[in-house]
Structures are given as structure tokens and as C-alpha cells.
């Protein structure tokens, strides 16, 4: 692994015969280590994903660089960055990793042992609304495959996908990733929520008009909080968070008993228990809208079973399920 200031030479043009020799000499563990470190821009962060020690990861990459006769990564004060050679090799590494994974799955299917269990990750609020529908359609389309549903925060799902804890996930506002394929399957406006007995608000409000209000919101890195932070910054006003609560149900119960406000997806209002009701106002300038995304690792996107699962999810009327 190179250090800042090392002289970097681009990968030279090589023949198909030479390329075949290089690929055959490389270890797939080296490829995977390089991909994860390149994605996370950190060897130490890759430890958790790969499940091996930092010295082992560094050794794998050093062996790969030695085989390629190129520095692929350079250390910086904040982690590592790809060299020009590393950026060029990254394209090939992704394809090699994907093909290797698909070859294993093809052989399992050939031997009569296709992917027999699919692990689907979802945020708690989504799982509560959609699990029963997904389960029913899943049993109809894939009767020989079991479905496991794992619930967690959207911020956890990307790590779960990289670590192989789930095969596919529904999550909000995933960060950019070169190892995960993402598509938006639903959008929903966030609204201002309040106790009607304590506040009287217009049906539609500018974000800039909320500068002097006190809020209860999830703590970072929650996706709702990130969207609200961004909207207030765009409107040029300060966001006053009096209390941080990470569970939507608890936020709603807090709002029902206090003068605090919150900003949540409109569908969250149906989560309030005990027959209580809350009021809401639409927000504008800017509108705050979240994205529910379907995500799966790039290396597994060609698997037939997962293709069926993603097709199933796309076919659902998510807007109705979220009401």
C-alpha cells in the first residue's frame, strides 16, 4: 500500500493472455479485501465487514499490489484513497468478484441446491406494514425458498449488506456505494407534526417559519434527522432540537404529551397508540421527501432467486401499504 507522495504509474496496456495470467494468480480474498477497503476508504473500518484483522487485510492488499506491480491505494491522514492504477483496477475487481459469486450460486443450483433462504432487511416501521404481504407473495412465487426478515435502522442496512447478514434490503436514503445496487421504490413527504390542543398551525408552512420552534427528533445518523438538518440549512434557519429520541413510536407519544414539534413521514401518524390523534402541516420551501430504496450487493444482482424477490417487491402497492 503506497503512502502519499509515492510515485504512481498507471496500469500499462496488457494482452488478453497476460490478463488471464494475472487473474489466475490473484486470490479472491485479495480482490474482496481491496474492494471493501476501496469502498470504505479505510483499512480499520474494513475489519468489521471482512471479519479479519487489520494486518491481515493490509497483507492481502500488499500481495495484490505485488502481483499487479502497481500501488492501488495511498494512505492519507483520513484513511486511504485510490491511486490512478487503483481506480482502473477497481472496475475489473468488481467484475471478478461478481463472476466468482455467481459461479458459486450457479453450481449450487446445478447440484440441486439453489439459494434456499433469502434474508430481507427492513426498518421496523416498514417491516410492520409490509412483512405479511411480502411473506404471502413470497410463498406463492418461491415455495421452495424460505424468507427471513431482519429489522433494524436504515443506517445499519448498508453494513448488513456488505457483511452478508442480509441478501436484500429496503432502506431509506442509502449512502452512495460502488458495491451496492440501489433503486427507489417509493417516495413520501415529511410533515410537521404537533398536538392540536397546544398548537394551531396553517395547513402549509415554509421551513423558514420554524426557526423559533423546539423539536423532538431522532439523533444522527438517522435518515429523517439528516433530511431535516439539510432542509433547515437550505432554508437558512437554525434547527432547535430540544430532545433526541430514536424510536418513531416514542416520538409520537412525546408529541402527544408536550408542546414540542416533530417532522416525520406522514404515514408515521398511524403509529400512535391509544386512539390519540395528532395534527400535521405540509412543509414547503423546501419540501422534505424521503426515498425508500431497494438495495442488494452488486455481486449478487444476477442471482435468479434474488431477481424474483426484487421483482416481487417492485410489484407491491407500497403507497397503499404505507397508509
Helix, strand, coil tally for the chain in percent (to 5): 45, 25, 30
Q: Look at residue 17 in the predicted model and tell me its pLDDT.
A: 46
Residue 290, all three cell numbers: 424521503
Q: In order of start, what are the domains of the chain with their CATH numbers?
A: 2-110 (1.10.10.10), 117-185+291-321 (3.40.190.10), 187-290 (3.40.190.290)
pLDDT of 314 strictly over 90: yes
Res 233: pLDDT:
95
CA-based max dimension of the chain: 76
pLDDT in tens, 246-285: 888 899 999 988 999 999 999 888 877 655 688 999 999 9
pTM of the model: 0.71
Beta pairing, strands 289-297 & 180-194: antiparallel
Contact by Cβ (8 Å): 233, 313 = no
Q: Which of 169, 185, 188 is nearest to 177 (CA)?
A: 169
Burial group, residue 291, by CB count within 10 angstroms (0-12, 13-18, 19+):
middle
Candidate ranges 22-31, 43-52, 99-108; pick with highest mean pLDDT = 43-52
Average pLDDT over residues 21-26: 52
Amino acid at each position: 500500500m503506497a503512502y502519499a507522495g509515492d510515485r504512481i504509474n498507471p496500469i500499462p496496456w496488457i494482452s488478453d493472455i497476460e490478463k488471464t495470467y494475472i487473474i489466475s494468480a490473484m486470490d479472491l480474498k485479495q480482490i474482496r479485501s481491496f474492494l471493501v477497503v476501496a469502498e470504505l476508504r479505510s483499512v480499520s473500518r474494513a475489519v468489521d465487514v471482512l471479519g479479519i484483522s487489520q494486518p491481515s487485510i493490509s497483507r492481502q492488499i500488499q500481495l495484490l499490489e505485488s502481483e499487479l506491480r502497481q500501488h492501488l491505494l495511498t494512505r492519507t491522514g483520513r484513511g486511504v484513497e485510490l491511486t490512478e492504477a487503483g481506480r482502473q483496477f477497481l472496475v475489473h475487481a468488481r467484475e471478478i468478484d461478481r463472476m466468482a459469486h455467481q459461479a458459486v450460486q450457479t453450481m449450487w443450483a446445478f447440484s440441486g441446491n439453489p439459494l434456499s433462504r433469502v434474508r430481507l432487511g427492513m426498518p421496523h416501521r416498514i417491516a410492520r406494514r409490509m412483512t405479511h404481504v411480502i411473506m404471502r407473495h413470497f410463498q406463492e412465487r418461491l415455495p421452495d425458498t424460505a424468507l427471513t426478515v431482519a429489522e433494524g435502522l436504515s443506517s445499519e442496512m448498508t453494513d448488513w449488506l456488505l457483511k452478508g447478514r442480509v441478501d436484500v434490503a429496503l432502506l431509506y436514503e442509502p449512502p452512495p456505494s460502488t458495491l451496492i445496487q440501489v433503486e427507489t421504490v417509493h417516495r413520501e413527504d415529511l410533515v410537521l407534526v404537533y398536538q392540536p390542543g397546544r398548537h394551531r398551525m396553517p395547513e402549509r408552512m415554509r421551513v423558514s417559519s420554524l426557526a423559533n420552534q423546539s423539536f423532538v427528533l431522532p439523533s444522527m445518523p438517522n435518515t429523517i434527522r439528516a433530511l431535516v438538518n439539510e432542509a433547515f440549512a437550505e432554508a437558512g434557519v437554525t434547527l432547535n432540537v430540544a430532545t433526541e429520541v430514536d424510536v418513531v413510536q416514542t416520538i409520537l407519544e412525546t408529541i402527544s404529551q408536550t408542546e414540542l414539534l416533530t417532522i416525520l413521514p406522514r404515514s408515521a401518524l398511524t403509529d400512535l397508540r391509544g386512539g390519540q390523534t395528532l395534527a400535521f402541516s405540509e412543509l414547503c420551501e423546501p419540501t422534505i421527501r424521503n426515498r425508500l430504496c431497494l438495495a442488494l450487493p452488486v455481486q449478487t444482482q444476477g442471482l435468479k432467486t434474488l431477481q424474483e424477490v426484487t421483482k416481487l417487491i417492485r410489484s407491491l402497492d407500497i403507497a397503499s401499504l404505507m397508509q
